[in-house]
């Protein structure tokens, strides 16, 4: 197999022969490969210039993608980067999906980091070094100077003589050469793939149904299991009767999975697993289980009451985290004072693919295939849960049918591993949609109180922001009841507006569920509150919102983030402020771009309006204008959304555009329809019928993406499109109707609204 197409044809032949197959997202592998001790290492004879790159004697180039593909296009982008620097042929390159292994460095596909923080340069350097070695090998072969030859799409060419040699003929010599110092990277003008559009690496497999996700993985002799999880966080099985479940044809065993004590981190919640010969039998068996659940301190968690608790918390002084100037004094002396409270509910990730894992435990070794964003954490958590050495745990990564943060947490893979050990057979654990909605790691719920003072000219002179929102750290450690500095660095402490007197306080907010990060994390509620409040201030000042934002951003400059008055240093998404400054010029540019492209300021019919927001997150600058139309019954339609993104440089522009298009939809789901609520400690919602996400009929009629190429340092792409869209929508609704949306989702607030989530339905 020398080419991807041949590999795929080969795979097809295997499938037609009726062989039972399992697959990595890199392609289908014969199941017997599970037995191989080291299937991901180089094959005999392969040259491995980097852990991310192998070149076989026949010239076959294999790139290892160590990050998880969940729609953001990392498998395509990393192949593009390697192929470009190496001058390999993109069409024939092979892709291997890396198992969880520290040799790859950080594999957590999270924080919009896969390109920006390291991989881009690592892959470029690896490709360039190997390309130079192949060029030197060719030069030696021909007795010419290395500067006279150049690699080009899988061959090295000597232009002066017209000679060329394919990589296959050069590997043997190249691999013996010293690694070049320094490695000379291409100039951007020499890029043939980076910055261009190519079809997605997995496109064909996806379109023909051959792509293998976690739910699709299988092993010979595999059992199927579903787990009845505790309905309340912290509850455990008190007693149960499995007799009826065991009578369901195909059900073989009911096994109790021990639940970790709170805070349970990534470990399973526990519960009862029904192991069967088919998924359907397991689901039917689960329906027949009779369980009494033990009491939990979270039994009384009630979202209505909790909101009142958060409001009370935010109306009293909290713990100071930022204190610049004298906010209290400036508020008292302001010409005009504005205050508002914003509420954003828990959200469920609800990726289209519910979590799933297949595991096979043999002795103290475990092999698992799962849709995980974090194979190293999966490995370590399985090892801890089973009390086996982590060196004996192999985690293969399938494609992910969406992740959004949920699949960073490997509780479901631990369940599969545990059940495999208990049954002595490979076990596939399937989470149903109900498990996903009811037993996930919900996004935090947030109540924010904002107060600002304007001077007589309408300039902001004072700002007080209180946040009451349970922190993610509550799932890892006890007594975590305040939003943390790292979460506040997602929009609050790094707020770019020029205000001389600022005070930020965090207020108590104990968690009563697991809390997990969700695409763009605390930027979701924090950008909503701040960007809606800025719109309120603009109107209070009698200013156009875009003009008001530009004035509040102030002149083009880089902010000194060490002089903001914060108690602790302000986080910057893992980057140094010197390398990734808070750059007002870039804020202004995306804002001005989106205003211009959207036709901001044009006259609209009655009942229509435009709203705007700008927000920096994950080192990327994004502004959005939403054009909304509100009908007489409060029905919301969205003729158009404009979104401008400056991520520095777009490695794969088409995928950056599609990430922006998708972020618009997700943010509008957050804003219009989605809400996870609790009653008696249990989620009220259970499936897509009552946990609603946007459908095509509710989507904008047109989304226009504007990429701003600033040439700045690389920023993230997957998440930063999300934060500004929801506040832009809320601001547009105000422009259209005069009604402020301070609580999400919009739901029925506009009298009969666009989407109704039945209260109390389950």
Residue 213 binds another protein (CB under 8 A) = yes
Interatomic CA distance for residues 113 and 454, integer angstroms: 38
- State which of residues 173, 433, 596, 679 lies at the interface with another protein (CB under 8 A): 433
Torsions phi, psi of 359, nearest 5? Answer: -140, 150
Among residues 372, 348, 507, 303, which one has the least CA distance to residue 443? 348
- State which of residues 36, 207, 295, 477 lies at the interface with another protein (CB under 8 A): 207
Q: Contact, 142 vs 135, CB < 8 A?
A: no
Residue 353 binds another protein (CB under 8 A) = yes
CB of 529 to another protein, least distance (A): 23
CB of 506 to another protein, least distance (A): 31
Hey, which residues between 681 and 720 contact another protein (CB under 8 A)?
A: 687-689, 693-700, 702-703
Q: How far is CA 142 from the centre of its chain?
A: 49
Structure-token pair, residue 281: 């039998």
Residue 215 binds another protein (CB under 8 A) = yes
Q: Annotate 382-411 with b (16+ C-beta within 10 A) or e (fewer).
A: bbbbbebebebbbbbbbbbbbbbbbbbbbb
Among residues 663, 634, 642, 619, which one has the least CA distance to residue 750? 634
CB of 363 to another protein, least distance (A): 28
CB of 555 to another protein, least distance (A): 36
Among residues 64, 79, 66, 46, which one has the least CA distance to residue 167? 46
CB of 75 to another protein, least distance (A): 11
User: Which CB sits closer to another protein, 177 or 206?
Assistant: 206
Torsions phi, psi of 181, nearest 5? Answer: -130, 125
- Taking residues 271 to 310 in sequence order and writing x for each that binds another protein by CB under 8 A, - otherwise, the string is -------xxxx-x---------------------------
Give pairs for 603-608: CB < 8 Å, separation 24+: 604/736, 607/631, 607/632, 607/736, 607/737, 608/639, 608/736
Residue 405 binds another protein (CB under 8 A) = no
Interatomic CA distance for residues 529 and 726, integer angstroms: 10
- State which of residues 117, 218, 368, 484 lies at the interface with another protein (CB under 8 A): 218
Structure-token pair, residue 358: 């297949």
Q: Annotate 596-630 with b (16+ C-beta within 10 A) or e (fewer).
A: ebbebeeebeeebbbbbbbbbbbbbbbbbbbbbbb
Among residues 420, 437, 436, which one has the least CA distance to residue 428? 420
Residue 318: HSE in the Cβ half-sphere, 13 Å Cα cutoff:
31
- Residue 322: which H helix or E strand, with range? strand 319-324
CB of 664 to another protein, least distance (A): 7
Stretch that binds another protein, among 398-406, 414-422, 583-591, 739-747 (CB under 8 A): 398-406
Residue 479: HSE in the Cβ half-sphere, 13 Å Cα cutoff:
0
DSSP 557-624: -B--TTSS-BSSPPP-TTS-TTTS--BHHHHHHHHHHHHHHHTTT----TTEEEEEEEEEETTEEEEE
Among residues 243, 225, 233, which one has the least CA distance to residue 293? 233
- State which of residues 397, 399, 527, 549 lies at the interface with another protein (CB under 8 A): 399
- State which of residues 59, 100, 200, 491 lies at the interface with another protein (CB under 8 A): 200
CB of 503 to another protein, least distance (A): 37
Residue 164 binds another protein (CB under 8 A) = no
Structure-token pair, residue 662: 């998708």
Interatomic CA distance for residues 243 and 285, integer angstroms: 10
Residue 247 binds another protein (CB under 8 A) = no
Residue 228 binds another protein (CB under 8 A) = no
Residue 210 binds another protein (CB under 8 A) = yes
Residue 14 binds another protein (CB under 8 A) = no
Residue 74 binds another protein (CB under 8 A) = no
Residue 430 binds another protein (CB under 8 A) = yes
User: Which CB sits closer to another protein, 130 or 704?
Assistant: 704
User: Which CB sits closer to another protein, 160 or 207?
Assistant: 207
Stretch that binds another protein, among 59-67, 251-259, 614-622, 651-659 (CB under 8 A): 651-659
- State which of residues 4, 7, 11, 21 lies at the interface with another protein (CB under 8 A): 21
Q: How far is CA 440 from the centre of its chain?
A: 15
CB of 741 to another protein, least distance (A): 21
User: Which CB sits closer to another protein, 385 or 441?
Assistant: 441
Q: Which residues contact 387 (CB under 8 A, 6 or more apart)?
A: none
User: Which CB sits closer to another protein, 352 or 558?
Assistant: 352
CB of 562 to another protein, least distance (A): 38
Residue 69 binds another protein (CB under 8 A) = yes
- State which of residues 24, 298, 432, 677 lies at the interface with another protein (CB under 8 A): 432
Interatomic CA distance for residues 378 and 364, integer angstroms: 16
- State which of residues 11, 56, 70, 612 lies at the interface with another protein (CB under 8 A): 70
Stretch that binds another protein, among 122-130, 196-204, 299-307, 311-319 (CB under 8 A): 196-204
- State which of residues 337, 390, 654, 740 lies at the interface with another protein (CB under 8 A): 654
Print the SS3 string covering 375-387.
Answer: HHHHHHHHHHHHC
CB of 22 to another protein, least distance (A): 10
What are the residues binding another protein (CB under 8 A)? 20-21, 69-73, 197, 199-200, 202-204, 206-213, 215-216, 218, 224, 249-250, 278-281, 283, 350-354, 399-404, 430, 432-434, 654, 658-659, 661-666, 687-689, 693-700, 702-703
């Amino acid at each position: 197999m020398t080419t991807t197409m041949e590999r795929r044809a080969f795979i097809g032949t295997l499938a037609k022969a009726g062989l039972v197959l399992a697959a990595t997202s890199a392609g289908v592998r014969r199941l017997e490969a599970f037995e191989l001790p080291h299937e991901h290492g180089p094959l005999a004879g392969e040259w491995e210039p980097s852990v991310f790159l192998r070149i076989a004697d026949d010239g076959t180039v294999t790139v290892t993608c160590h990050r998880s593909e969940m729609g953001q296009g990392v498998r395509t982008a990393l192949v593009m980067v390697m192929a470009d620097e190496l001058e390999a042929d993109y069409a024939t390159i092979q892709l291997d999906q890396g198992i969880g292994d520290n040799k790859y460095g950080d594999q957590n596909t999270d924080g919009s980091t896969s390109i920006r923080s390291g991989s881009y340069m690592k892959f470029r350097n690896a490709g360039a070094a190997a390309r130079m070695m192949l060029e030197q090998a060719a030069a030696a072969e021909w007795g010419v100077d290395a500067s006279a030859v150049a690699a080009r799409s899988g061959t090295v060419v000597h232009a002066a003589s017209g000679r060329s040699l394919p990589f296959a003929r050069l590997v043997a010599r190249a691999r013996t050469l010293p690694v070049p110092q320094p490695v000379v990277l291409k100039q951007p003008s020499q890029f043939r793939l980076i910055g261009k559009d190519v079809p997605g690496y997995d496109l064909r497999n996806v379109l023909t149904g051959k792509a293998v996700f976690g739910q699709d993985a299988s092993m010979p002799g595999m059992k199927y299991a579903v787990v009845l999880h505790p309905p309340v966080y912290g509850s455990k099985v008190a007693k149960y009767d499995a007799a009826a479940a065991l009578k369901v044809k195909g059900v073989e065993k009911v096994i109790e999975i021990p639940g970790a004590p709170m805070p349970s981190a990534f470990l399973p919640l526990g519960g009862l697993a029904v192991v069967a010969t088919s998924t359907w039998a397991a689901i039917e068996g689960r329906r027949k289980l009779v369980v009494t659940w033990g009491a939990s301190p979270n039994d009384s968690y009630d979202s209505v009451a909790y909101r009142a608790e958060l409001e009370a918390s935010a109306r009293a002084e909290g713990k100071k985290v930022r204190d610049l100037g004298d906010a209290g004094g400036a508020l008292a002396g302001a010409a005009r004072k504005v205050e508002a409270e914003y509420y954003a509910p828990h959200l469920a990730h609800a990726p289209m693919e519910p979590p799933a894992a297949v595991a096979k435990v043999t002795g103290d070794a475990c092999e698992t295939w799962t849709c995980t964003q974090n194979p190293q954490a999966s490995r370590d958590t399985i090892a801890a849960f089973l009390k086996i050495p982590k060196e004996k745990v192999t985690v293969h990564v399938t494609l992910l049918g969406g992740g959004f943060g949920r699949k960073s947490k490997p509780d479901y893979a631990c369940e599969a591993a545990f059940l495999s050990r208990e049954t002595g057979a490979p076990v596939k654990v399937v989470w149903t949609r109900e498990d996903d909605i009811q037993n996930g790691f919900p996004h935090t719920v947030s109540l924010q109180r904002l107060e600002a003072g304007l001077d007589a000219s309408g300039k902001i002179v004072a700002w007080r922001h209180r946040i009451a929102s349970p922190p993610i750290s509550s799932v890892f450690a006890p007594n975590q009841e305040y939003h943390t500095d790292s979460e506040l660095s997602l929009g609050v402490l790094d707020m770019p507006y020029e205000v001389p007197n600022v005070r930020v306080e965090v207020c108590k907010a104990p968690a009563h569920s697991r809390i997990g990060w969700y695409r763009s994390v605390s930027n979701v509620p924090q950008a909503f509150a701040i960007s809606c409040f800025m719109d309120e201030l603009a109107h209070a000042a009698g200013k156009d919102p875009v003009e008001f934002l530009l004035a509040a951003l102030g002149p083009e400059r880089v902010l000194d983030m060490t002089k903001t008055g914060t108690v602790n240093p302000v986080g910057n998404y893992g980057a140094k402020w010197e390398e990734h400054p808070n750059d007002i010029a870039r804020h202004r540019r995306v804002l001005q771009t989106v205003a211009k492209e959207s036709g901001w300021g044009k006259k609209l019919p009655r009942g229509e309006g435009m709203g705007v927001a700008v927000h920096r997150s994950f080192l990327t600058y994004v502004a959005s204008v939403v054009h909304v139309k509100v009908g007489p019954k409060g029905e919301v339609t969205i003729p158009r959304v404009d979104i401008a993104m400056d991520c520095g440089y777009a490695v794969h522009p088409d995928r950056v555009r599609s990430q922006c298009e998708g972020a618009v939809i997700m943010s509008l789901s957050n804003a219009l329809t989605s809400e996870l609520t609790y009653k008696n400690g249990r989620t009220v919602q259970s499936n897509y019928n009552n946990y609603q996400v946007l459908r095509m009929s509710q989507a904008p009629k047109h989304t226009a993406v504007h990429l701003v190429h600033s040439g700045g340092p690389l920023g993230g792409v997957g998440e930063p499109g999300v934060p500004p869209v929801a506040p832009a929508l809320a601001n547009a609704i105000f422009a259209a109707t005069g009604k402020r949306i301070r609580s999400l989702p919009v739901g029925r607030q506009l009298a009969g609204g666009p989407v109704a989530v039945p209260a109390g339905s389950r």
